Every structure is written in C-alpha cells, then in structure tokens.
Amino acid sequence: MAQVQIRAFSAEDRDWLVEQHGVLYAQNEGFDASFGTLVAEIIDAFLSAHDPHREAGWIAQRGDVRLGSIFCVRLNETTAKLRLFLLVPEARGQGLGKQLLYTCMEFAENRDYTGMQLWTHESHHAACALYQSTGWKMISSEPVHSFGQDLVEQSWIYRFDPLAICEPGS
C-alpha cells in the first residue's frame, strides 16, 4: 500500500474538496446545499487572493486517492484560522487527522502567528476530541440553525507557547 503524502493544495483539488464537503456533510449531518456553497466560496476566495507566505492549504493523498484537507488562513495579523479540515471516512482512525492538524499548526507557528482559531460544530466529536487533546481550548458554544439543521456552533483557540520545542499538545 502506498504511503500517505501531505502535499500543497492546488486549484485542481477545488471541485473534489467542494464535492466531498457537500456529500459527507449531507450524509453525516443532514446539511443542505448551502454548506457546499459556503465551502466553494471559501476555496474560491483562497485561490483568488491568498498570501502564500502566511496562508496555505494541504491535501492528504495515498497514490492518486485524495483522503483529506486542511487550510491555514490569516484571521488577523497575529491569529491564523484553521479551515476546511476534512477526512474521508476510510482515512479516519489512522492518525492522519493529527498529522494534518500538526502540519497546519506548525505552518502557522513558523509564520509568526501567536495563535490560531477555528469554528466547528459540537457534533464533530472526533475532531473536537483531537483539538482538546492537542491543547486547543473551546471559548464559545451556542445553538444555531445553519445549513438546514439545528446545530451547536463552537469556537476554539490555540496559543503557541514560545518555549515549546516539540509538537503542540505533547
């Protein structure tokens, strides 16, 4: 079996990533088509105007098969935002999510961000457990109606420790 590679996101990955988000979130969460539209808007904005020195996206791939994604974008001068973190079902439970998360966090730290932020939903239990185990802190949680569903949105933050030498959360 081929090794998993984490490579830079490219424009050729756009349609796959929009489709995967739309299909998986519809199947698993009952999200309507507005979620896929949001993902397309996020990716299109990234492709048209991202700062390659402070923002990046990655695709996890085994051979020719894409397995997941993660993005680091600028929220403000000191804070990066984690976006579009996704693993296809067959790639889950193998440590790939942690590998993608560390790739994104290391990039942000090396670009002199002092912290990171993300937005997710309470129903994403595995992702929330990963964030918590790697030192992220939930700062807000509130019920909303989004993407055709009643959800609980969460915001999480991570602060880089200037004295840390190894992986975040270790």
CB–CB of 100/70 below 8 Å?
A: yes
Residue boundaries of the structural domains of the chain = 4-159
Confidence at 2, pLDDT banded by 50, 70, 90: confident
- Averaged confidence pLDDT in the chain: 91
CA 148 to CA 145: how far, in whole Å? 7
22, pLDDT greater than 50: yes
The fold for domain 4-159 equals: Aminopeptidase (3.40.630)
Taking phi first (over 0 means left), then psi (-120 to 50 degrees means alpha), and beta for anything else, what does residue 155 get? beta
- pLDDT over 90 for what percent of the chain? 75
Q: Which of 38-47, 70-79, 125-134 has the lowest mean pLDDT?
A: 125-134
pLDDT at 122: 83
pLDDT, one tens digit per residue, over 120-148 is: 988 888 899 999 999 999 999 998 788 87
Sign of the dihedral through C-alpha 58, 63, 66, 68: negative
Question: Other C-beta atoms within 10 Å of 58: how many?
Answer: 22
